[in-house]
Structures are given as structure tokens and as C-alpha cells.
Structure 1
Amino acid sequence: MELERISVVLRPRAPREALDLGAAMLRANAAAVWSAWFAFTVPVFVLCNALGVLLGLPWLGLVLVWWLKPLFDRLPLYVLSRAVFDRAPTWRETLRGQRQWSWRSTLAGLSWLRIDSNRALRLPLDLLEGAPRKQRSARWKVLRRRIVADTSLLTYGCLQFELVLFLSVWLLALLLIPHEWRPESLSDFFGRDVHDASTRWILLGATVAYLAMSAIEPLYVACGFALYLNRRTQLEAWDIDLAFRRLRARLQGLGKVLGVLLLCAGALPLSVHAAAAETPKPVVSSLDKVFGQAPDSEDRRFAEAATEVYRDPRFGGERKVRRWMFKYTPKPDTRVQEMPFPLLARVLAAVFKGLLWLLLIAAGAALAWFAWRWRGLLAPAADAPALALSHGLQVSAEAPAPLPADLAGATRALWQARRRREALALLYRGCVEHTAQLLQLPLSAEATEADWLRQAAAIEDSARAQRVVAIVRTWQFAAYAGRYPDDAAIEQLLSGWPAQTGAST
């Protein structure tokens, strides 16, 4: 992912601040989003309602349009995902670009995941990453952690906004109808007017519902996409990665500028410096010439100003304040009024008290059952896979593929095929596994390059320890700085252990 091209300020945000970011992205690309939205959804809306009228079920069009929301959500996501990196595509490019994305996740969203409250967060994970099903499931468990409540709240909030817009249009129309044309009551309206023109009223309601959906659904997708970007930034430290990339580019440009300045400085004649050194500096004779006044004159002026200020009645002296107060303050009545039916009151109080205790016990039992039932989801697993590793190696829930028997040959083949990153990743993985076997250590998905550099010091053979350090350093330079070695350096790394397990060094 080319993070340096992104137009959004990457930093960890609170979930509600990320929702504001989604609304801002939608406002900045409103023309591209809604042009593509209406270009695709208007024909679908017309076809669905025409099908409902032909079948004699005019309400079917409204239901179909609402059910096809996951299909429509692909359009705003395509526009926003391109707009944050380069530019917003046109509606024709958006429609043509739908062929690049898989349709399996959309079919799932139209079937068993249709009522999923986390659809806004799941959509960019399924469409933008395109990972296999098992890996996508593992990534989803990590991605949704700690923001499930926010995504569900986003879903229900947008649903309420659609309902508010739908009802507001009808209330506005009711206010604009002249009084003499209004029905006598709602029962007459629904019993006579709506029943007589049921098809027209349903089509009109479907149109209003479609307009409300068109106003809110792109906002729903944009906010979900912003939550996705924010979660990836939190887990993968995109902001730190981008800062290091910009720092590297800035230092490269600064090196050229410093070289030019040094050449210019070396060309200056030495006589200029000598003349500047011989120029006599003026000598100050007294403090009066330094400050331009007597040493204590400023103190006297400050004392006179402070005395003048304290003479002002607003800053000093005594004041008299008059205010109205009640002469006789009424005392609160603390007498307990006697109840007309003390026995019945006590019985009812005891009954309600018992019911409240039973309700409290039931709530505690329900919470305990819920905690026991979902304890695996509430507590993060110790071996949970990372969401994504931004530099090559990926750890998934399933067992990794075994290393090739000829590690050197496989690495050399990838390198000669111009797949340099994959070649170094394979060599680094083989180095890690062979080092773990040599030191009799368990493989850990949480171990970093720095950990393996420290483990290399425990190898008794100094030649092997130096080769481990060389391979790890080569992988770090390639993964983090984009600096790849030449062919001779690769051949030197592949000439012995661990690329060739039979070699002594």
C-alpha cells in the first residue's frame, strides 16, 4: 500500500472522531459519490417497482430496494477508496471498476449477513483486501475488537435517520395540504383514500424511502470506511510508517542541498573572513549608555504606577454591598405523614421489595451466564494472529506452509524472477526456523527482527551467528527502507548455513 499518496491525515482517532472523518470525506467527494449512486440505483429502483406492479405486489419494489443495500454500498466505497489515494473516479469509471472486486462477499451480504450490524466495517475488509476466507475470518476477529459497539451504533443510528427523513417528508406534505382537502381522521385516510389508490400510495412511499436511503446510505458507508482506516492505523501504526517514509525522503533531499552549500562555502575567499575579524567592535562605557536611562528610574516609575492603581476604588479599599434577603426563612416540613392504609402499604412494599431482589438476582445470573458463554470473545486469545504485517510476512490462523527442501534454490529462483521481496522474506523465514531449531526454541508469531538479533548472540558458532545477523539486517533494509542487496550479496547469503542446511557455516 502506497501510504505516501494518501490524502487523509493518518493518526489514531477515537471512534466518534473517525465517524466525523468519514462525513468529511463524503463531503469532499459528494459529487462523485452521488453521481455514481444515482447512475446505478435509479434503474434498479425502476425495475424493482415495475416488477412489483407486474406481479400485483406493489410493495415488493420497496422491499427489494431495501434488501439490495449491500449491492449499492459497493459504489460509495469504490469512490472513497480511490479518492483518498489519488482522485475521485467518475461514475463511468466506478461502474466499470465493480468488475475488479469479488462478488462472493456481496452475495453473503445479500443472504445470511444481510442483517449484520457490522456491515459497514466488514465491507472494506471483504472488498479492499481480498484475502482468503480463513485469513479474512482471522483478520475480522482482530479488526472488530473494541469497536463492535461503535459499528452497531452507527448502523442503528443511520437506520433511525432514514426513518426520520421518511416521516419528515410525509409530515411536511401534510402541512402543505389545504385544510379543506385534509381527511377527517387517520382512519378515513387509511381506510378510504389509501385503499382506493393503494398502488400509487405504495409507489410514492417507495420513492420517498428510496430518497431517504440515498441521502443516508453513502454516509453510512463513508463512516464505516473511516472506522476501518482508523482501526488499521491503530493496529499497524500507519502514521509512524508514513512519518519514517517522509523523513527518509526529506533527508535524501537535504543531503543534496548540504552538498551544494558546502561547495559554495569552500569557494568564498578567506579575505572576507579576515576583514570581518579585524573590524573593531564598539565598547560600551557605562550602564547608562546600555539602557539609555538611570538604573533605578524604571523602578520608580513602576512604584508610582502601582500606587496610582491601588488608589482606584475598584482595586482596593472597602465596599458596601446591599442585597435583598428573606427575613423569615421557612423551615422544611420534616413530619412524616401517616398513610391511610399502613398494613396494605407494608404488604405492597414487601412484595415489590421481593420482586426487585428477584429481578436483581436474575440480572446477576444472566450476566454471569453471558460472561461464561462469551468468555472466549471477551478475553483476547494469547495466540491471536495479527491483523496484518505491513512488511511481507503474514501470520494466519492456519498452519504455515513448510519450507522447501532446497531453501537456497527456491530463494534464488524467486530472486531471478525479479520477486526480490518474496525471496528475502523466504530466506528470512528459513533463517528464523533454522535458528530456532539450532537453539531449541519454540517459534513465536510475536517475535520481531530485534528478538532474533538478540537470539543470534546465543549461537556458539560465531560464523553462523554472523550469518543470522547478516540475513536479518538484509531483510530489515529491504522491508523498511526499500534497499535491496545486489546479486553478489545474495549469492554470499545463499552459499552456506542456513540456506544450505548441510553446510558447516
Structure 2
Amino acid sequence: MRIDQLDVVLRARSGWEAVELGTALVRRHARAIWAPILLLGLPVFALVNALAWWADAFGWAWLLMWWLKPVFDRLALYVMSRSIFGEAPGVLQTLRAQRQWGWSGFWGYLGWRRFSPLRALLLPVNLLEGNPPEHRGARRRAIAGGAFGHAVLLAATCMAFELVLVAGCIAAVFLFVPFELLSDSWRAAWAMVRDDTPAWALLGLNLVFWLSATLIGPFYTGAGFGLYLNRRTEMEAWDVEIAFRRLRDRLQQAAPLLVLALVLAWPGTAVHAQSADADAPSLEQLLDDAEAEAETDTRDAERPTATYANDPTNTAAGIFGTDEVDTAGFRQAVQRAYEDPLQSPTRQVSRWERIDHDAAKKEKKKPDPKDADTARKRKGPLLPAQIAEWMLWGLVGILLVILVVTAPRWLRWLRGDGARRRSTVSAVVEDDITVPQEVPPDAAARARALWQQGRPRQALALLYRASVDSMSERAQMALPPGATEAQCLRVSRRMPDAADRSLFARVVRVWQYAAYAGRLPDDDAFESLASTLQQQFRWRG
């Protein structure tokens, strides 16, 4: 592999940094990856679903497309393996290369290795390295040894993303359903799935599964390829090898300059060496000098030792040859010579010694007269501090006395057995709403009577019940027992008169405010509503 031509920076990364490297490669070459996948996937999807429809097994088409995902992973891996060398292949080039590229080590991923969570990590071993079959097992174990956990978590994460995309696409269909029809749409969809799902619904579900796998699959393959590159960098030290290769290239570029410098420096060096050889003594002269020095040392060693103090030649007259010699300057020069640090060098040596702790404690216990004088001088300013301390202690005593005196009051409360005040809960008054099964012909008059008696909810319930009957007659449609307000509103749209539809919606709104929110209309609003209903729906007065 030409690792010196890689277009990515190889270095020792953590597992998740390697995953990010793979996804970055997918984003950089997105068009070159997804274009061949869509061109190959669309015909395969159409063929598989057509065969499933012909065999009356439409629900199994998605399983076959899921099983063929490694075929499409090959396309993404081929593009990335060429793109890292700066040679991104074209769409047609990628599709043509699939006829002969890597099929010998691929069939296992459509068989027993299809359920392996390490597929994205180990697929490059079979397709890119070209190892013989007997060596692939050991190679796969070596690659997976340091990235097993990251590969498993990567597979689980990508599977979760695919499920989220499928659930989101299904839920997006119900976003376009009106809120009033949502419950009915859910029931209809569940009945359709449970009893007999139509072919168009199965085809749409298969399409959603295939699109989600097509969107997430390249990221899964790219992240596994990043883990593969990181493992090879760790095992084979690619980053170190690349650094040495770059160093070699720099040295090769500087080699002509080094050769030129040596050529220029060589003649001067030769001339200098020749002149040095001419001035240097010969070997025979050096041997003669060494023998003469050895004989001199031997004679000095055999000479008897004399005491310089008794030697007459060791005097000033013997040294200088005359009796009248001023030796003061000579003695000063000798004194300065002895005072020279180089003649009598000194050094400072520090060492640690154990201190006797008992002796140190005794020395500390000895009273110092200076400390006594200082204490006597400070005795005056310490008096206010002592007074303040006494006052604080007195305050603490007073607090203790107060606690002891009031103990019967707070001790029971502290223990939890004292009498506690309990707030009286007011009883909830419930107003049962009873609506007659048959609405009286004078519903407005009866509602006014109930309103005057202080039963507003009963009055509004009666108006709502009578309005529902009048609406059902005018819409010419029977309502089921226990129909909700929403169902009544949908039926009211069949009334031909717009004023009737608006009035019925107004009644339903007032009734809902009163029944569910506890917001009752005032007397004028109630009277206006009752009069309008009586006049519009022609109730008897």
C-alpha cells in the first residue's frame, strides 16, 4: 500500500475519533458514494418487490433488501478506498469495478457473517488486503482485537438511527391528518395493518425501510473503514513510517548540496594535513625523548632526601648569593601566594544531624524574661476582651434558661405528639347533570327556569341536548348513542343553512366551556343564546 500518498492524516486516534474520520470521508465524497448506490439500488428494489408481489409475499421484500445491504456497502468501501489516495472514482467507474473486485472474500458476508456486528470493521480485510483464505481468519482476529467494543456500539447506534427514521416517516403521515379525524385515522390504520394490508401500503413501508438503510448504510461503512485504518496505524506504525519516508525525501533533496560542500572542503583539509605532518616530530624522536625523561625521573628518585630546614642552601644568602638581602618583599610575595584560593582551596560541607527533641522541649519551657515583660505591657489592652468574653458566656446562660423554661411548649412539638391544627376541608359539592331522554318542546323556557333556580349547568345541558336534536333533524342524519361534540360538529356541516351551522357551533362552544372548564356565561349571554336558539330552531315558547 502506498501509504505515503494518503490524502488523510494518519496518527494514533481513539476509537471514536476514528469513527469521526470515517464519517468525514463519507461527507467529503457524498456524491461519489450515494450516486452509484441509488443507480444500483432502485432497479434491485423494483425487481425484488415485483417478484414479491408475483409470489404473493409482499411483506418479505424488505427482508431481502435488508439481507443485500453488504452489496451496497461494497460500493461505499470502493469509493473511500480510492479517495484516500486522492483518486475519487466516477459513478460508472465504481459500477464497472464491481464485476471483478473482491468477490472471492465477499460471499461470507451474504451468508453466515451477515449477522456479525463487526461487518463494517472486517469487510476491508477481505476486500482490500487480498490475503489468501487460510490467512484471513488470523488477520480478522488481529484487526478486531482492539476495536471490538467500538464496532459493536457502532452497529447498535446505526440500527437505532434506521429505526428512528422509519418511525418518523410513518408518524409524518399522520401529521397531515386533521385533529378531529386523528383517532378515527389511527383506528382505520390499525385495522388495515391487522386484517388485510393493501399492496400499496406494503410497498410504501418497504420503500421507507430501503431509504433509511440507504441513508445510514454509507455512514456505517465509512465509520468501520475509519476503525480499520486506525487499527492498521496502531499495528503497523504507519504514522512513524510516513515520518521516516518524508525525512528520506528531504534528505534526498539536500544530498546535492551536501556533496558540493564536501567537495569544496576537501582540498583545504588536505593542505592543512600536509603542513601539519611536516612540522610534527618523527616517531624515532618521540621515542628518544620518552627514554630521556624516564632516566631523569629515575635519578631523582634515587637521590637521598634532605631536610630543607637544616640545609644551608635553603637560606636567603644561599639562594641569592649575598648576606645583605632584603627578604621583606619576598616574604610578602610568598604570603600572597599562600593566600591565593587556588593554592589553598576551601569548600563548605553541609550535613544533617539529628536534634534531640527532649532538649529542644526543655529549652522551649524555659521562661524568657523578654516575654514576661511583653505580657506585662499588654495586660492593659486584654481587659476589654475579657469583659466581652464574660458577656458572651452570660448571654449563652440566659438562652439556656429560656429554653429550659419554655421546654413544655416546644418539646411536645419536637417529639411530634403535640396537638396540631388541621385545616378543615370543605366538602365538594357536585352538581349532577341530568338531561331528560326526550327533549321537551319548550326547551328554552325550561332552560330559563333552571337558570333562575341556580342550576346553570343543567340549563346549558338542556339547551345543548335540544340543539343536537334540532341539528340532527335539519341535517337529516341520525347520531349514534353517546356521540361526542366533535362528531356532532362534523354532522352539523351537512345543514344547508350557514346560520344554523354557526349557531350550533356557538352552542357547542358554550357548553364545552361550562362542562369542562367551569366557565359559565353571564345572565345576558345566556338569555341571548336561549332567545336565538328558540327563534332559529323554531322552538315553542
If the length of structure 2 is used for normalisation, what is the TM-score?
0.47
> Superposition pairs for residues 70-469 of structure 1, below 5 Å?
70-184=70-184, 186-192=186-192, 195=195, 197-256=197-256
Q: Which amino acid aligns with 2:163?
A: L
Secondary structure in structure 2 of the residue aligned to 1:86 = coil
Q: RMSD of aligned C-alpha atoms?
A: 2.7
**Distance verdict in 2 for CA 1:133–1:175, change over 3 Å:** same
Secondary structure in structure 1 of the residue aligned to 2:159 = helix
Q: Which amino acid aligns with 1:74?
A: R
Distance, in Å, in 2 between the alignment partners of 1:170 and 1:261 is 77
Contact 1:108 1:114 in 2 (8 A): yes
Distance, in Å, in 2 between the alignment partners of 1:135 and 1:192 is 53
Distance, in Å, in 2 between the alignment partners of 1:69 and 1:336 is 70
1:246: how far off? 0.8
Q: Which amino acid aligns with 2:107?
A: L
Distance, in Å, in 1 between the alignment partners of 2:414 and 2:97 is 77
Distance, in Å, in 2 between the alignment partners of 1:67 and 1:336 is 70
> Superposition pairs for residues 22-61 of structure 1, below 5 Å?
22-61=22-61
Distance, in Å, in 1 between the alignment partners of 2:245 and 2:145 is 29
Question: 1:13: which partner in 2?
Answer: 13
Distance, in Å, in 1 between the alignment partners of 2:9 and 2:193 is 55
What is the CA deviation profile of residues 216-264 of structure 1, one whole-angstrom value per residue up to 9, with x for unaligned ones?
0000000000100000000000000111111101111123356679999
Q: Which amino acid aligns with 1:128?
A: L
**Distance verdict in 2 for CA 1:50–1:264, change over 3 Å:** farther
Secondary structure in structure 2 of the residue aligned to 1:7 = coil
1:334: how far off? 11
**Distance verdict in 2 for CA 1:336–1:132, change over 3 Å:** farther
1:88: how far off? 1.1
What is the CA deviation profile of residues 412-469 of structure 1, one whole-angstrom value per residue up to 9, with x for unaligned ones?
xxxxxxxxxxxxxxxxxxxxxxxxxxxxxxxxxxxxxxxxxxxxxxxxxxxxxxxxxx
What is the CA deviation profile of residues 121-155 of structure 1, one whole-angstrom value per residue up to 9, with x for unaligned ones?
11000110121222111111211112111111111
Distance, in Å, in 2 between the alignment partners of 1:336 and 1:84 is 76
**Distance verdict in 2 for CA 1:192–1:151, change over 3 Å:** closer
**Distance verdict in 2 for CA 1:187–1:239, change over 3 Å:** same
Distance, in Å, in 2 between the alignment partners of 1:256 and 1:167 is 68
What is the CA deviation profile of residues 68-104 of structure 1, one whole-angstrom value per residue up to 9, with x for unaligned ones?
0111110000000000013211111111112332324
Contact 2:146 2:231 in 1 (8 A): no
What is the CA deviation profile of residues 328-373 of structure 1, one whole-angstrom value per residue up to 9, with x for unaligned ones?
xxxxx99999xxxxxxxxxxxxxxxxxxxxxxxxxxxxxxxxxxxx
Distance, in Å, in 1 between the alignment partners of 2:36 and 2:197 is 33
Contact 1:183 1:189 in 2 (8 A): no
Contact 1:19 1:223 in 2 (8 A): yes
Contact 2:19 2:223 in 1 (8 A): yes
Give me the identity figure in percent. Answer: 40
Gaps of 5+ in 2: 266-412, 418-541
Q: Which amino acid aligns with 2:216?
A: I
1:105: how far off? 3.2
Question: Considering only CA atoms, is the larger Rg found in Structure 1 or Structure 2?
Answer: 2
Distance, in Å, in 2 between the alignment partners of 1:46 and 1:183 is 34
Q: Which amino acid aligns with 2:222?
A: A
Distance, in Å, in 2 between the alignment partners of 1:7 and 1:257 is 30
1:175: how far off? 1.4
**Distance verdict in 2 for CA 1:213–1:259, change over 3 Å:** same
Distance, in Å, in 2 between the alignment partners of 1:113 and 1:151 is 14
Q: Which amino acid aligns with 2:148?
A: V
Distance, in Å, in 2 between the alignment partners of 1:208 and 1:262 is 73
Gaps of 5+ in 1: 266-332, 338-505
1:55: how far off? 0.7
If the length of structure 1 is used for normalisation, what is the TM-score?
0.50
Secondary structure in structure 1 of the residue aligned to 2:105 = helix
**Distance verdict in 2 for CA 1:234–1:57, change over 3 Å:** same
Question: 1:68: which partner in 2?
Answer: 68
Question: 1:345: which partner in 2?
Answer: none
Contact 2:79 2:88 in 1 (8 A): yes
Q: Which amino acid aligns with 2:176?
A: L
Distance, in Å, in 2 between the alignment partners of 1:82 and 1:10 is 16
**Distance verdict in 2 for CA 1:100–1:244, change over 3 Å:** farther
Secondary structure in structure 2 of the residue aligned to 1:73 = helix
What is the CA deviation profile of residues 239-293 of structure 1, one whole-angstrom value per residue up to 9, with x for unaligned ones?
001111111011111233566799999xxxxxxxxxxxxxxxxxxxxxxxxxxxx
Distance, in Å, in 1 between the alignment partners of 2:160 and 2:54 is 31
Question: 2:488: which partner in 1?
Answer: none
1:195: how far off? 4.5
Secondary structure in structure 1 of the residue aligned to 2:8 = coil
Contact 2:36 2:91 in 1 (8 A): yes
Distance, in Å, in 1 between the alignment partners of 2:127 and 2:218 is 16
**Distance verdict in 2 for CA 1:260–1:49, change over 3 Å:** farther
Q: Which amino acid aligns with 1:42?
A: L
Contact 1:194 1:201 in 2 (8 A): no
